[in-house]
Structure formats: C-alpha cells, structure tokens
Amino acid sequence: MATLFGFDHRVVAIPTLAVSVGIAAYTTYRLYSERSQRKKQNVYESTKLLSEYLIFHYGLPNEVLKYDFGPKSALDFPKRCAELCLKHYKPQAGVPARGLDIGCAVGRSTFELARIFDEVIGLDYSQSFVDACDELKREGLINYSIVDEGELTTDLTARVDKSINRSRASFIQGDACCLPADLGQFGVVLAANLICRLHHPFDFLWRLADIVAPGGILVITSPYTWLSEYTEKKNMMGGYYDKDGQAVTGFMTLMKVLGPCFDLVVDENMPFFIRETAHKNQWTVAHATVWKRKNP
C-alpha cells in the first residue's frame, strides 16, 4: 500500500515448492495463512493510510506538530489550497459558481471551497476516501486513531468546521484520467498533489480546458515526485531527459499542455507537513500553479 509520499511497502508472498504430498498440504496451509495475514496487513495499511490523511487534512496544529519548533507554515495544506483558488476566483456573469476538487482524498479542500460555492464536487479514485468524505458530510466528524510508535496510538476526532454548510459538498468515486462526461463546467478546479499519482496524466490535462469555464481558475499543486509505481515511464510528465538530452520538468509540460487554453496567473512554492508517527514526519514543498481559462 502506498504511504502519502513515501515508498510502497508491499508484502511479498514467497511460494513454497511442494516436493511431496505432505509438503504440498503444508504448503497449502502456509499459503493460506500467508494470504490471510496479507489481508490483515492490507486492512491495517489502508486504515493507517486513511488516518494519515485524516490528520493531514483535519488535524489541529498541536495534534500534527506537537513540538514548539518545526515548520508551522507547512500546516493546513488542503485549506491553503482552497484559499489559493478563492484568492484568484472572481465571481462574474458566465462563470459558474461551482467548484471541483479532483483527487480530494478525505475532502478538506472540498469543504473549504463550500464556504463560497453552493455546489462543490470532490472526486477521488479511492472508495474508502469517498466513504470517509460522505461520513464527514453526514456526521460532521469522524473518530480515528493515529500511530504514535509501533502499536501505540492516540484517538482523535476529525471535524468539519461548523460554519461550513456541508450539504453544499458532494463526493463521487471516479478516475481523473477518465472524468465523467456530464460534469459540466466549474469556476474553480483544484488538483492538489494529484498529477504525479496518475496512470495517464496527459488524459487528465487534456480534459481540463473542457471543465474549467472561460474566466474560471485552475490550481494544480505537485511535488513532482514522478514514480514508476504510479506512472509508466512512457506516460510521465517530467523528470527525464528527452531524446535530445534536454531536461523536461513537470512545470515545462504544464505550460506546454495548458498554455493554449490557459494563462498562467502565478506560481508559488507551498510547503506541507505530513505526520507519520510521533517522531517521523515529512516536510515537502509542492509547486503550485494558478491558471485562468482563456475566453475561446
């Protein structure tokens, strides 16, 4: 299973060779118990991933970063992403007052966009994240527990700010590389830390001119951590030398693909902080680009 921005720790099953009937029976037993252990491990891994995202999105500053030193400016990343969108969005005739948060994970940015828009859609590939979003929408909170060290955990509650009208947000499971045809157009589209997770990032980028309304705002953030476990080499957006030996960066590819239909408004570096355990944390700096859809 994937960690937030780390490497995958896959559980490897080692097939046991059967050389006699007795050993074959033992092997069957072993494979069976390895499989059920693996299943347990997966459930554990996905619960762990869900709680890492819940604290990343909804953790209070003293829950996420309990030291009096450390990168405080890296907290509340999903909220800052929504704020960046809203800073550049100008309500005007012809620009739909709707938001779309693609790769929404557990939905913090989606809810933050609902402070302004009466309709915001959060879309994610992971059904368990979409289920968590629906529970947050329904209940306003989710109880979860975070790992402190090893088996030691702390119980926490993720809460959507009471001043947000949660019924304005809705969540769907879907694939960013093959977005539903009937989404319509949006005044704001956010894709935070999504592009380097996609199997076909170009299929995603090509669709954007369609779903961002003319005059609307698109925000893409990415730490440009191109990894072959998510994207096959031939589909990569950047992080390689082309056939002429020229370096291709993710930002260059964004400008090339989005340039014809979007104006680049601003780009900036946005730090974020991920708590894995009480003592192991990741500090990453995403590159954020803000685009305005041109009038056709």
Ligand X SMILES: C[S@@+](CC[C@H](N)C(=O)[O-])C[C@H]1O[C@@H](n2cnc3c(N)ncnc32)[C@H](O)[C@@H]1O
Residues that bind ligand NAG (CB under 6 A): 118, 139, 143, 157, 165, 167-168
Q: Which does 167 bind (CB under 5 to 8 A by kind): ligand NAG, ligand X, none?
A: ligand NAG
Taking the mean position of all CA atoms in its chain, how far away is CA 207? 18
Q: Which does 36 bind (CB under 5 to 8 A by kind): ligand NAG, ligand X, none?
A: none
Please say which residue, 3 or 16, places its beta carbon nearer to ligand X.
3
Rounded Cα distance between 2 and 269, Å, is 24
Q: With CA atoms as reference, report the closest residue to 230 among 125, 128, 131.
A: 125
Please say which residue, 247 or 285, places its beta carbon nearer to ligand X.
285
Q: Would you state the structure tokens that stand for residue 183, as one six-digit string?
A: 């989404």
Rounded Cα distance between 75 and 104, Å, is 17
Please say which residue, 141 or 152, places its beta carbon nearer to ligand NAG.
141
Single-letter residue type at 115: R
Q: Which does 176 bind (CB under 5 to 8 A by kind): ligand X, ligand NAG, none?
A: ligand X
Give the shortest CB-144-to-ligand X separation in angstroms.
Answer: 16
DSSP per residue, 163-210: TS-GGGEEEEE--GGG--TT---EEEEEEES-GGG-SSHHHHHHHHHH
Give the shortest CB-97-to-ligand NAG separation in angstroms.
Answer: 11
Number of alpha helices (DSSP H) and beta strands (DSSP E) in the chain: 7, 11
Give the shortest CB-103-to-ligand X separation in angstroms.
Answer: 3
Q: What's the sign of the alpha-carbon dihedral 52, 55, 57, 62?
A: negative
Single-letter residue type at 104: C
Q: Which does 143 bind (CB under 5 to 8 A by kind): ligand X, ligand NAG, none?
A: ligand NAG
Residue nearest to ligand X according to CB distances in the complex = 103
The contact set with ligand X (CB under 6 A) reads 56, 78, 103-105, 124-126, 129, 175-177, 192-194, 197-198
Give the shortest CB-214-to-ligand X separation in angstroms.
Answer: 25
Give the shortest CB-216-to-ligand X separation in angstroms.
Answer: 19
Please say which residue, 37 or 167, places its beta carbon nearer to ligand NAG.
167
Q: Which does 73 bind (CB under 5 to 8 A by kind): ligand X, ligand NAG, none?
A: none
Rg, the chain, Cα only: 21
Instruction: Evaluate whether 231 touches 196 at the Cβ level (below 8 Å).
Output: yes
Give the shortest CB-156-to-ligand NAG separation in angstroms.
Answer: 9
Structure-token match 């950047």, residue found: 238
Q: Which does 286 bind (CB under 5 to 8 A by kind): ligand X, ligand NAG, none?
A: none
